[in-house]
Structure 1
């Protein structure tokens, strides 16, 4: 891990020595904090065992963070420790393998191979009948059962106590978090179907009640409730400016991972421009905002002041932005020097690669929304809007987003090959429904027209080809793409040297990588996400398009070029930061109370997770190992001391509970043996203990193999 980090540092560093040293120093400091934090959690656990053992007079021969096992690869022999020293009768050190720690007490060894040797070592006397065999009084087995129970459980107790203290200190500093406020609802998702409006603050989810609920806590509660009882609705209470509204929502599977559950709520975005990159390259915003606008805050739009005291001040602005995609909008910005500056943000010119996409049958309806009230049903196919049959998936919401008049829809109802298929016409009255996210922002790839309360999916079938915009060539024939062709792949073929300057921006790295791999229709990257991605590409970018033609199934290969479209796009390139709040304890008592609450929640998460595994609600492939822990620890450390302390709380609670599972070789396994000894009045058979311990060690090793494999699979 350190070697990989060092390599990254070299790659990131510039040729300037000062910059290189600065980057290297910051990385070393960061990883030092990560190591110190994880090491501290392990240290306090072992310290609990150590202090309890010393209290009862047990001889402690070693105190180690990490394991000091011999490692030899061919002729190379690695040191067992990173450092050690002896003070009194105890050897203290840091082992070469950073996967835990241990306290070696006289007469106690978790290695089954050494159990018999250790048992012999603590026996005294026994040479004749007048001198019966006794145990060394300073050995662990010589102590009463209750003292041994205290020693074994002391590590867990220390983790529980320090976990609460970590959280208390974090809240003392102040914890920055994304509040559980509804910034938008996913088109077609459960929240969208229930008619939940953006702009409210979630204050209750299932059994979790909190007036200052964090978005992360809300998401985890929804995930856990959904996994435990996927068929049961979740009780949710949301506070709006006009009062509290309550809902019962049944979760949906996550489009990219069916094992996860969601209700389709996104966190809010603030009205503050990013201080480093306030605009997206090539966007409408780039043409009107300058360096002095970095970090500025939008305080008014088209003369409408932002209400800073509302729950979500940005909600009306985004509704206005997405409801007027073809209208220039005047923005009043308050810069970081407190001066006000006004700019006119023009519409964003859309981009295309030369064809339009078909529209699926209706996928979702808002309860009591305009479409549902008019009699529209899921499965109906839209064939005309206001008599116009020239409709396509991405053009329809742009047309209807600002409509204030009723519209007529011509629908086909019934199976396409059924004699009972009928054509019907309905009239929809628009509703005052907020549109605070792009119509294409759905994780499942659905597109919603909030004003009329229906959603659908864009199809990969070409509905029309635009003249003079599609340059095509094929290796197999001179056939051009036609209406009805099904898109199978879109791929970027440019090399690094051929990439336009705009695409070399680090913000486009993931986009370029995905397009080079070739986009294919799937749930992970739906068609709507692809079309959004195409808006980021510069004009003239060539793409290879593969399509199949029905009914022959022949593969058509064409080259499409990114060109300006005749219509606008809803996004305009404003790079706004996430909405954040800070929760700070007002006193020591308040800090301890918040720390205790955080500790209880993390404990509850661990118990719930353990309960769901045997029930098959959580798969082993979702379990992370040491590499995942280090990765999360680094991410949290980068966010600041409070985030890192909360991570250590989570880690402490996990270590406390997992280490106390009734598995031989773990503290919980030792406790089971001690409970059996207390009940029987004598120790279990040593051979049986040794066999059970060996089985426990093998179980732990097998689990380690699984979690390491999961970590490696995620990494690559």
Structure 2
């Protein structure tokens, strides 16, 4: 039978967006309602007159009165409140007023234990509902990134310690690790700078590293991220192609499809990202046949992918200092040190006779052989000392470790990373820059521009701007050396043209910048990329309870861990280990909630559980106007057998209001000016 109704895809998308927004608003509202209902229910149980039950603060938008209680929706969505006779944060004198205390239905007329029960009921309610949110999410089943390492950032502590792609973390400082978010939290919330990280390598051998955290960011980190699996991304409605435009995968004889699974390359079965990465690197110069299983079927399709050569401009840049060395690597074992400068390799001057960007492949090709390396070592107050070292590279392909912003070039075969300057030392004849840029000129900025009419590459339509004079945040003396990152960016988004801002030596070392527009192209017949341009989805771990008891057990564990993490976060904030820039307000919370809701209802339940527990912990902090502040006054009264004076109550309440309002202003500022506007 023919369908009677056709659904417009745009309407379906708008409906999905509307439903996500609805569930987010609905869920956030109920987190607040559950908290305030705890106060309300126990107050009624203790026969306290409840004058108002409000969701939100400030001017009232909607109100409804039933019996003695007014139910209200207020304009500021930071929480809510229950206004009881004898307890009003806006008028703290009520708590010590004798005439109100004489009313048997007033809050202040109740015993200390009754008032403690009323005050703590909201927090207890949030803990209970948080547990139920978590349990419900695990009952439905959620997927989270597995605790397997997919990228080790060049030069950061994990890289230096020897963590490899494919390693699985099982413990960090004794804390059990199940999914990758456990790794992030354990590192960020650690109280010490040195972490004991335990796990297993991809070959099954156990490891135990002592890793020093890096504190240059807004929170401690070690420089690892989650791995991808063998499934291609399924972007849904997002304008992200499953293959990178301009890559081998995008120009193959057949198209890859969303959700395809790579099962074999030629006659080699592949099941993990490290396997795939190693195979592509070692066969980088060969045409390879990818065998992929189509999503939802048993069909396997063979797709031939040609090799990809590096796109270059024809610029050889100056080599900078060695920035990092891996523990127990050939570089470390032969005495290479941070701060050294690699001047010659097998008699070839780096920068004029050999391109420093070719060193990762050069050393890989020489694995097992002695390579003579001349380094210049700085001497305080004198000329650099020249040393000759004999290094024997490992069999580790070049460019399997990709530089991110501000990172160095990695030579996996040696276990060393070095900077590149933005000063030109050599211009290749018949290259895109020949006749346009000269030796000793300096690149100040690069723009990667998507041509008009070109298909989306998943990075938006705006130019990607990479600066070479940029200072590291929080350190005006340290320049971020970005040429390695710029060079790799030309490979990962090959459809884009390049616009360089160039300055001549000129007076004072800088001249007036001029703009040179170029189209990168392969100019070296033997220099092949270790990638083919397929976009792989993150490797996820399914977490699903098999029974109600298991769901409650998982929910309880998650509740305890989240409560502990919130206290650890507060400790790290006050101790300066985490920057206040990590905080989010209502805009940030709503944004994250929407993204989570887009992933599925179970994920939203886990997020609501996190918010519910968060609300419980924050509300019980000893700050006047919060539940914890009221509890402090009640403990005082229980110990001294008398209420705090009206003057103390008023002063403390106004101080608490100032703190809370200050925090509201701070998180709103961070939401708008730190997290939102910079991304626009």
TM-score computed with the length of structure 2 as normaliser: 0.89
Query: Can you list the C-alpha shifts for 1:649-693, whole angstroms capped at 9, x where unaligned?
Result: 221122111111111111111111111111221222223212221
2:561 to 586, 592, 601: 601
2:420 to 452, 458, 461: 458
Matched, 1:44 2:20: no
* Offset at residue 66 of structure 1 (A): 1.6
What is the DSSP-based 3-state SS (H/G/I as helix, E as strand, rest coil) of the residue aligned with 2:148? coil
Does the 8 A contact of 2:467 with 2:482 survive in 1? no
More divergent stretch after superposition (442-451 vs 54-63): 442-451
Aligned residues: 651
The whole-number CA distance in structure 1 between the counterparts of 2:594 and 2:468 is 31
Matched, 1:514 2:514: no
The whole-number CA distance in structure 2 between the counterparts of 1:683 and 1:421 is 74
* Offset at residue 268 of structure 1 (A): 1.2
What is the DSSP-based 3-state SS (H/G/I as helix, E as strand, rest coil) of the residue aligned with 1:262? coil
2:603 to 643, 657, 667: 643
The whole-number CA distance in structure 1 between the counterparts of 2:338 and 2:283 is 28
2:131 to 164, 167, 181: 164
1:414 to 365, 373, 377: 377
* Offset at residue 434 of structure 1 (A): 7.6
Does the 8 A contact of 2:145 with 2:179 survive in 1? yes
The whole-number CA distance in structure 2 between the counterparts of 1:173 and 1:402 is 51
| Counterpart in the other structure of 1:623 | 583
| Counterpart in the other structure of 2:168 | 201
Q: How does 1:300-311 map to 2 (within 5 A)?
A: 300-306=264-270, 308=271
The whole-number CA distance in structure 2 between the counterparts of 1:569 and 1:553 is 35
Matched, 1:427 2:427: no
Distance of aligned partners of 1:539 and 1:632 in 2 relative to their CA distance in 1, 3 Å threshold:
closer
Does the 8 A contact of 1:544 with 1:559 survive in 2? yes
Distance of aligned partners of 1:671 and 1:509 in 2 relative to their CA distance in 1, 3 Å threshold:
same
| Counterpart in the other structure of 1:265 | 224
What is the DSSP-based 3-state SS (H/G/I as helix, E as strand, rest coil) of the residue aligned with 2:284? coil
Distance of aligned partners of 1:500 and 1:22 in 2 relative to their CA distance in 1, 3 Å threshold:
same
Distance of aligned partners of 1:416 and 1:239 in 2 relative to their CA distance in 1, 3 Å threshold:
closer
Matched, 1:187 2:144: no
| Counterpart in the other structure of 1:572 | 532
Moved over 6 A (4+): 117-120, 416-420
Distance of aligned partners of 1:314 and 1:631 in 2 relative to their CA distance in 1, 3 Å threshold:
same
Does the 8 A contact of 1:488 with 1:548 survive in 2? no
The whole-number CA distance in structure 2 between the counterparts of 1:104 and 1:136 is 16
Distance of aligned partners of 1:484 and 1:410 in 2 relative to their CA distance in 1, 3 Å threshold:
farther
Does the 8 A contact of 1:371 with 1:452 survive in 2? yes
Distance of aligned partners of 1:190 and 1:52 in 2 relative to their CA distance in 1, 3 Å threshold:
same
Does the 8 A contact of 2:468 with 2:482 survive in 1? no
Distance of aligned partners of 1:240 and 1:271 in 2 relative to their CA distance in 1, 3 Å threshold:
closer
The whole-number CA distance in structure 1 between the counterparts of 2:638 and 2:286 is 79
TM-score computed with the length of structure 1 as normaliser: 0.84
The whole-number CA distance in structure 2 between the counterparts of 1:220 and 1:550 is 50
Root-mean-square deviation (CA, aligned residues, Å) is 2.8
What runs of 5+ residues in structure 1 fail to find an aligned partner? 1-15, 71-79, 125-133, 474-479
The whole-number CA distance in structure 2 between the counterparts of 1:99 and 1:289 is 55
1:676 to 629, 633, 636: 636
Query: Can you list the C-alpha shifts for 1:339-375, whole angstroms capped at 9, x where unaligned?
Result: 2222332221322233122222322222222222233
Q: How does 1:210-229 map to 2 (within 5 A)?
A: 210=177, 213-225=178-190, 228-229=191-192
Distance of aligned partners of 1:708 and 1:382 in 2 relative to their CA distance in 1, 3 Å threshold:
same
* Offset at residue 519 of structure 1 (A): 6.6
2:204 to 226, 229, 242: 242
| Counterpart in the other structure of 1:108 | 87
The whole-number CA distance in structure 2 between the counterparts of 1:684 and 1:581 is 53
| Counterpart in the other structure of 1:491 | 447
Distance of aligned partners of 1:552 and 1:690 in 2 relative to their CA distance in 1, 3 Å threshold:
closer
* Offset at residue 224 of structure 1 (A): 1.8
Query: Can you list the C-alpha shifts for 1:100-120, whole angstroms capped at 9, x where unaligned?
Result: 1111212221103xx457876
Does the 8 A contact of 1:481 with 1:558 survive in 2? no
The whole-number CA distance in structure 2 between the counterparts of 1:553 and 1:430 is 38
* Offset at residue 229 of structure 1 (A): 2.4
Distance of aligned partners of 1:462 and 1:253 in 2 relative to their CA distance in 1, 3 Å threshold:
farther
2:141 to 158, 168, 174: 174
Distance of aligned partners of 1:233 and 1:539 in 2 relative to their CA distance in 1, 3 Å threshold:
closer
Does the 8 A contact of 1:46 with 1:102 survive in 2? yes
Matched, 1:563 2:520: yes
More divergent stretch after superposition (412-421 vs 86-95): 412-421
What runs of 5+ residues in structure 2 fail to find an aligned partner? 1-5, 236-240, 473-479
Matched, 1:501 2:501: no
* Offset at residue 540 of structure 1 (A): 8.5
Matched, 1:549 2:505: yes
| Counterpart in the other structure of 1:696 | 656
Does the 8 A contact of 2:432 with 2:521 survive in 1? no
